[in-house]
Structure 1
Amino acid sequence: MNWLSRMRGWFGPGAAGAGAAPRRGGETHLDRAADSLRALIEDRSIPKSVREALADDYAEIQALLDKLEQDQLHVAVFGRVSVGKSALLNALAGRDAFASGVLHGTTVRQQRVHWDSAAADAPQLGALVLIDTPGIDELDGEQREALAHEIAERADLVLFVVDADMTAVEHRALGEVAVGGRPLLLVLNKADRYTDAERAALLARLGEHAAGRVRREHIVPAMAAPAPERVLRETPQGEQVVERERGADVEALRRAILTLMEREGRSFAALNAALAAGRLSDAVGARLIALRRAAADRIVHAYCLAKGVAVALNPVPVADLLAAAALDVALVAHLGRVYGMPPSRAEAGRLLAVILGQLAALMGAVWGVHLVASALKLGTGGLSTVATAGAQGALAWYATYVVGRVAERWYAQGRSWGPQGPKQVVREIVESLDRDSILREARAEILGRLRGRDADGGRRR
């Protein structure tokens, strides 16, 4: 699609690193992304049935467009259950905005709040939104894990949260989330559990796990909800242990988020829009291909039946072949209209000539039988039609079926034979077909139509 080609040109490799100017005056990456999403939503050439089948995908694109128009940037957490994702967002927000607790997997759905304090510190970023997600690797939590992946795919920045050395599940998930160079910060939460030396070693180890996916400076320690601190205090009665609450420490993470978003946030948002549009483009394309293939199946079957019956009924040899050729030209033209590339009659005739030329080279014997049957039909004065018409019509059916499938391949490839050329395309299609099965089906349907015609009072031959 043209709009997707334009977006890929605008947001190709290296675009994210270039940064983006504030949305003032001239066109920016975000303006272009919004215009392209709007054009996709408003494209009336997409059939209603495709839109209805992809309603959820279109809703995602509309939500993305709303986000761009409201100048929002989304930051989502992602990670195993109970690594403290909700607590981390609460610490960043400076309030208990997200449900958190000691239960395994407290978050079961998406939650989001505006990060007001950060917006106050960095007003040029527009509206920053924090998004909580369900945890991965939860028992019987496949649907919630799928939701977490969906949210991470749409976010402009993902905070991948761990609380220890990376597990095999986390390592695999990091690869999935980082696909396509998605912006990531790897956060070591609950860093207060470790001594300084242990923390340094663990951060280094995480750097090894994330090599090629997350830059070293984007691996950040945090303490969202540190354990109470035990201190000794002297009292008149003697020494005793007193627990003292400690405040969260997410300042390094906060600075990393704001720095990254100030530098590249809008480019991230534009790229994210392009990725989502690409996903919808693929889905629409797949649906259109399926619809066109279904329509082509119906059309090819209709022409096969028409040709088979016409050949079976026509007592004059050669004349039935000429009529069959005319039907094949019409079939080729009809398939072109289905694929949005209608040919002229002359173009359809040339394409048919190419197909039949290759088909004759592969199936000379079939055409020989066809001609013999046609001559036999004339020589017997039509008395042997019942014996020969079904077989001859079935051969005509089969030839038209091959013509239709080859022409459809040519249109589906953009009016091109591809690197293989017509000879190989025809050979592949012929070899992929069960000729005996098609001939049996064709003969049965043709004879059924002929008998039905006689039963309705038609001329018995």
Structure 2
Amino acid sequence: MTGDTLWQRLRGWLAKPDAQNAAAAPDAEHAQARMVDSLRRLLDDATIPPAIREELAGDFGRIESMLERLERGELHVAVFGRVSAGKSALGNALLGREAFTVGVLHGTTTRAEQAALDEAREAGLVLIDTPGINELDGEARERLAFDVAEVSDLVVFVADGDLTRDELDALKTLAATQRPVLLALNKADRYASAERDALLAQLREHARGLVREDDVVAVAARPKPQRRMETDEHGREHLRELPAPPEVAALRERLLAIARREGKTLSALNAGLYASRLTDQVSARIADSRRRLADKLIRNYCLAKGVAVALNPIPVADLLAAAGMDAAMVLQLSRVYGLPLSRAESGRLVAVISAQLAALMGAVWGMQLVASALKGVSAGLSVLVTAAAQGALAWYATVLIGRAAERYLVAGKSWGELGAKRAVAEIVAGLDRDSILREAREEILRRLRTRS
């Protein structure tokens, strides 16, 4: 099942009655157990080269954190939004205590902070405050905010009015990370009831397709103080300002409901999506590492074969020796790609590729045979020039054979649906023959002159 399908199924569960969600609980437990096992296998995979593991150390560290989170049964919620929208204040209001720094200047939150939500200790809900997305000269902070959101299970996007272009772009980016997003209209106490309802409707329209309508809620993390006229013992009236309690009940209940009903599934699914991306990164780096090693191997065999063919004084016999070198090269390539071939298998693969090349490029191989024969009767400089030309053709043939064999191995010892003929033809069409021959002649001539 794909990540998109899983998320659609999950969001469907969130809309179901509690009885149906209760019936789905065993599935959540099973999904979490399978995800824990999958993450452990990824972390313990001995086939991942140490260099790649070191290169992606931060990502593997996140996987370890996710594994610990799953085992603790936590649901991590990132509080996200632009500077001064009230993210830290909202986090404190949800917690019921001053856990996050709140300031009047832009950029108060410069690093991610987290604290367990007191009212959801049993549900394991954890809030993560993030830097503002519109910091001046704050590219690094914005990147941090997106990183935190990426490894969180759910995002609360905080706005204090209609969405700006930057906020809408950020909301789209967050929605693309495939985790649920709640949109909180903060400072809602500044608006009259009709104005607030109209603004909520506007937000739901602008966030259509990104946020569920039920997940757009109004909050007031730090409402304006309540003013009350009081009379002292002398009968004088005084205007007194009393702090107003935060108005976050709707958002808190929504978060707690999600944590209770789908917290484990959300955490497991998010961990699975992140692990899938990491696996793709590992695979890409392994493929790139193998490709670089294969490039070096093919070039070494091209050089060895080109020089050997150029130096061999016996007509035609050099071509037979070259075929043996091609088979040896394919044997080494199969080990590079972790699909070792036997000597007989590598020989048969070279024969298949050579047959297709002969059908496509008979004239080229005919030239090579002529050059092999001419080499035995030439003298002086002409021998050197003819040998270099023949060696260059041998070099080019090795490039073609190596690339074709590489394609066969990358596809898991398969030519694909279209067969060897099409694969070899595409290799031939994709290489710049003249450039390869020119490089080969220059290198072989340099080697021959050095030897002489």
Q: What TM-score do the two structures reach when normalised by structure 2? A: 0.91
Residues 1:381 and 1:451: Cα distance change in structure 2 (over 3 Å): closer
1:151 and 1:50 mapped to 2: Cα distance?
Answer: 23
Equivalent of residue 362 in structure 2, options 354, 361, 364: 364
Equivalent of residue 67 in structure 1, options 66, 69, 86: 69
| Contact 2:229/2:239 (<8 A) preserved | yes
Equivalent of residue 245 in structure 1, options 243, 246, 263: 243
RMSD between aligned alpha carbons? 2.6
Any residues of structure 2 matched to 1:263-342 within 5 Å, and which?
263-342=261-340
Query: CA offset at residue 314 of structure 1?
Result: 1.5
Cα deviations by residue, 1:277-322 (Å, 9 ceiling, x for unpaired): 0121111011101110111011101111111112112222221111
Residues 1:319 and 1:382: Cα distance change in structure 2 (over 3 Å): farther
| Contact 2:150/2:177 (<8 A) preserved | no
Query: CA offset at residue 23 of structure 1?
Result: 9.4
Cα deviations by residue, 1:318-361 (Å, 9 ceiling, x for unpaired): 21111111111222222111111122333323332332233223
Any residues of structure 2 matched to 1:24-39 within 5 Å, and which?
28-39=30-41
* Structure 2 equivalent of residue 191 of structure 1: 188
Matched letter for residue 390 of structure 1? A
Equivalent of residue 144 in structure 1, options 120, 141, 146: 141
2:99 and 2:42 mapped to 1: Cα distance?
Answer: 35
* Structure 2 equivalent of residue 210 of structure 1: 207
Q: Secondary structure at the match of 2:278?
A: helix
| Contact 2:109/2:130 (<8 A) preserved | yes
* Structure 1 equivalent of residue 437 of structure 2: 439
Query: CA offset at residue 395 of structure 1?
Result: 0.7
1:134 and 1:77 mapped to 2: Cα distance?
Answer: 9
Question: Unmatched 5+ residue regions in structure 2?
Answer: 14-20
| Contact 1:20/1:28 (<8 A) preserved | no
1:13 and 1:199 mapped to 2: Cα distance?
Answer: 30
1:66 and 1:308 mapped to 2: Cα distance?
Answer: 56
Matched letter for residue 109 of structure 2? T
| Contact 1:296/1:338 (<8 A) preserved | yes
* Structure 1 equivalent of residue 108 of structure 2: 106
251-260 vs 436-445, greater mean Cα deviation: 436-445
| Contact 2:96/2:118 (<8 A) preserved | no
352-361 vs 178-187, greater mean Cα deviation: 352-361
Equivalent of residue 403 in structure 1, options 401, 404, 416: 401
* Structure 1 equivalent of residue 17 of structure 2: none
1:393 and 1:192 mapped to 2: Cα distance?
Answer: 83
Matched letter for residue 79 of structure 1? G
Query: CA offset at residue 137 of structure 1?
Result: 1.6
2:132 and 2:3 mapped to 1: Cα distance?
Answer: 32
Q: Secondary structure at the match of 2:9?
A: coil
* Structure 2 equivalent of residue 343 of structure 1: 341
Q: Secondary structure at the match of 1:159?
A: strand
* Structure 1 equivalent of residue 260 of structure 2: 262
1:184 and 1:445 mapped to 2: Cα distance?
Answer: 60
Cα deviations by residue, 1:47-103 (Å, 9 ceiling, x for unpaired): 111111111111111111121122221111011111000000101111111001111
Residues 1:195 and 1:67: Cα distance change in structure 2 (over 3 Å): same
Query: CA offset at residue 265 of structure 1?
Result: 1.0
Equivalent of residue 166 in structure 2, options 169, 173, 177: 169
1:391 and 1:177 mapped to 2: Cα distance?
Answer: 59
Question: Unmatched 5+ residue regions in structure 1?
Answer: 455-461
| Contact 1:315/1:382 (<8 A) preserved | no
1:201 and 1:233 mapped to 2: Cα distance?
Answer: 35
Residues 1:9 and 1:343: Cα distance change in structure 2 (over 3 Å): farther
* Structure 2 equivalent of residue 48 of structure 1: 50
| Contact 1:313/1:389 (<8 A) preserved | yes
Q: What TM-score do the two structures reach when normalised by structure 1? A: 0.89
Count the aligned residue pairs: 444
User: What percent identity do the matched residue pairs reach?
Assistant: 56
2:39 and 2:262 mapped to 1: Cα distance?
Answer: 20
* Structure 2 equivalent of residue 457 of structure 1: none
Residues 1:230 and 1:9: Cα distance change in structure 2 (over 3 Å): closer
